[in-house]
Amino acid sequence: MSFTFDARRRATLTAVVDTFVASVPRDDDPTGFWAVKGSDLQVDAAVEQYLLEHLPEEELESLGQLLDTAALVGMKNQPQAIREAILANLGGIAPEAGLAVASLCQLSTMIAYGVMDDQGRNPLWAGVGYPGPVSAPPATPKTITTIAPTAGETLSADVVIVGSGSGGGVAAAMLSQAGKNVIVVEGGSYRNEADFVQNELFAYQTLFLRGGFFPSADGNVMLAAGGTVGGGSTVNWSNSLKTPDVVRKEWADAGLEDALGPEFDEHLAQVFARMGCNQDVALQNAQHERLAEELRAWATRTARWIST
Ligand SMILES: Cc1cc2nc3c(=O)[nH]c(=O)nc-3n(C[C@H](O)[C@H](O)[C@H](O)COP(=O)(O)OP(=O)(O)OC[C@H]3O[C@@H](n4cnc5c(N)ncnc54)[C@H](O)[C@@H]3O)c2cc1C
């Protein structure tokens, strides 16, 4: 039997979404940020579509059972505080249920802040001071020739590398420079600057593995990885730190030859030179500035505490 969202499940999903992206009455709400709830932005419909497209049938059935249980206790007719308690209790039933509730929360908020209307705007952005896309993508031509082999077609190479990320991409370049005929097999699509439309949801769907953040098997950690040509190097933040000595030592202890030697330093220097790494653009955003301030204050407090 294939899974469906019937009217009851759909109404319960809407109540779940509106619990995570809740309308909060406030007098000081000049942009309407607090008043907007998820279903006002059609987040419930988008979550439903995402679940149907990404979850295997078995997981959809489990989710259906979770929604049915929430419906039994009248989730959709309860006030915010009770709905929050219902979700907390449902999440505590079993690790899988906790994971489902956490994933629904994450999906609801991600879509709420990422979704755009016909004018390319989102009513929540003004409240958080986000201007939205500020420019059209540049018309940068694509420089890599990709091929999509047809069924039965045979390709030959000296080396086949699976994955075009930071590891695979560098290995392919080195082998190619050494005269090898290299094929790089990449599961994601090829996109470059011309495709970067400054829309977070679109970026997750087109550039990230599994369409964005996803939980580890035990649900304890959320993971993010690139799923496009270039892998993580296409989507990462380019913070470039030389591999710390403690990590190199760990690798050496695990049997990696040369991890502690000068050759390794030479490799790092080459990568830094190729990427043009420097400290000139290390401006911190407001969040990082607050974090740094608080850490400095904490360090001062701790130092005083240690000295007394
Ligand atoms: C959002 C984000 C921000 C980050 N910021 C930083 C940062 O600032 N500084 C930093 O040093 N690191 C950062 N990282 C981490 C860094 O990008 C990764 O550690 C690095 O890219 C890992 O390289 P990799 O080659 O192991 O894998 P990846 O770069 O993830 O490449 C794997 C590639 O293999 C492809 N693939 C997987 N399975 C298959 C298959 N079966 N068939 C075909 N193709 C397949 C994937 O689509 C992907 O393109 C960030 C990562 C993310 C996701």
Q: Are 46 and 111 in contact (CB under 8 A)?
A: yes
Q: How many CB atoms lie within 10 A of CB 178?
A: 10
Question: Of all atoms in ligand 1, which is nearest to the CA of residue 230?
Answer: 49
- pLDDT, one tens digit per residue, over 216-265 is 777 678 899 999 999 999 999 888 999 999 999 999 999 999 999 999 99
Q: Label residue 30 by pLDDT band (50, 70, 90).
A: very high
- Judge if the beta carbon of residue 268 lies within 6 A of ligand 1: no
What percent of the chain shows pLDDT beyond 90?
Answer: 76
Q: How many residues does the chain have?
A: 308
Q: How far is the CA of 230 from the centre of ligand 1 (A)?
A: 8
Average pLDDT over residues 38-56: 93
CA atoms within 13 A of residue 20's CA, in its CB half-sphere: 23
Ligand 1 pocket: which of 144, 166, 275 to mutate (most atoms within 8 A of CB): 166
Residue closest via CA to ligand 1's atom 4 equals 236
Average pLDDT over residues 110-129: 92
Asked which of 19-33, 93-107, 224-238 is least confident by mean pLDDT, the reply is 93-107
- pLDDT the model gives residue 283: 77
- pLDDT the model gives residue 217: 75
- Judge if the beta carbon of residue 168 lies within 6 A of ligand 1: yes
- Judge if the beta carbon of residue 234 lies within 6 A of ligand 1: no
Asked which of 21-25, 233-237, 263-267, 284-288 is least confident by mean pLDDT, the reply is 284-288
Q: Label residue 179 by pLDDT band (50, 70, 90).
A: very high
- Judge if the beta carbon of residue 279 lies within 6 A of ligand 1: no
Ligand 1 pocket: which of 144, 237, 240, 277 to mutate (most atoms within 8 A of CB): 237
Q: Are 83 and 74 in contact (CB under 8 A)?
A: no
Q: Label residue 118 by pLDDT band (50, 70, 90).
A: confident
Residue closest via CA to ligand 1's atom 47 equals 227
Asked which of 67-71, 78-82, 132-136 is least confident by mean pLDDT, the reply is 132-136
- Judge if the beta carbon of residue 244 lies within 6 A of ligand 1: no
Average pLDDT over residues 158-170: 96
What is the rounded CA–CA span in Å between residue 196 and residue 304?
Answer: 48
**How does the average pLDDT of the chain come out, rounded?**
92
- Residues 6 or more apart in contact with residue 282 via CB below 8 angstroms: none
- pLDDT the model gives residue 89: 96
- Judge if the beta carbon of residue 18 lies within 6 A of ligand 1: no
Asked which of 73-87, 134-148, 279-293 is least confident by mean pLDDT, the reply is 279-293
Cβ-defined contacts of 88-97 (< 8 Å, 24+): 90/66, 95/218, 95/219, 96/62, 96/219, 97/66
- pLDDT the model gives residue 1: 59
- Residues 6 or more apart in contact with residue 57 via CB below 8 angstroms: 2, 3
Q: Label residue 178 by pLDDT band (50, 70, 90).
A: very high
Instruction: For residue 300, give both structure tokens.
Output: 């001062």
Average pLDDT over residues 116-138: 92
Per-residue CA distances from 175 to 32, 170, 189 (Å): 56, 9, 23
- Judge if the beta carbon of residue 271 lies within 6 A of ligand 1: no
Q: Are 110 and 213 in contact (CB under 8 A)?
A: yes
Q: How far is the CA of 175 from the centre of ligand 1 (A)?
A: 20
Q: How many CB atoms lie within 10 A of CB 235?
A: 18
Average pLDDT over residues 38-67: 92
Question: Quick check: helix, strand or coil at residue 163?
Answer: coil
- pLDDT the model gives residue 259: 95
What percent of the chain shows pLDDT beyond 70?
Answer: 99
- Judge if the beta carbon of residue 188 lies within 6 A of ligand 1: yes
- Judge if the beta carbon of residue 225 lies within 6 A of ligand 1: yes
What is the DSSP code (8-state) at residue 231? T
- pLDDT the model gives residue 48: 96
**Beta-bridge partners for 182:** 159
Q: How far is the CA of 48 from the centre of ligand 1 (A)?
A: 28
Question: Of all atoms in ligand 1, which is nearest to the CA of residue 188?
Answer: 47
At residue 307, φ and ψ (nearest 5 deg) are: -80, -15
Task: Indicate the residue type of 209.
Answer: L
- pLDDT the model gives residue 181: 97
Q: Are 201 and 213 in contact (CB under 8 A)?
A: no
- Judge if the beta carbon of residue 227 lies within 6 A of ligand 1: yes
- Judge if the beta carbon of residue 185 lies within 6 A of ligand 1: yes
Question: Of all atoms in ligand 1, which is nearest to the CA of residue 231?
Answer: 49
- pLDDT the model gives residue 86: 97
Closest CA to 39 of 82, 7, 10: 10
Sign of the C-alpha dihedral computed for residues 45, 206, 105 and 22 taken in this order: negative
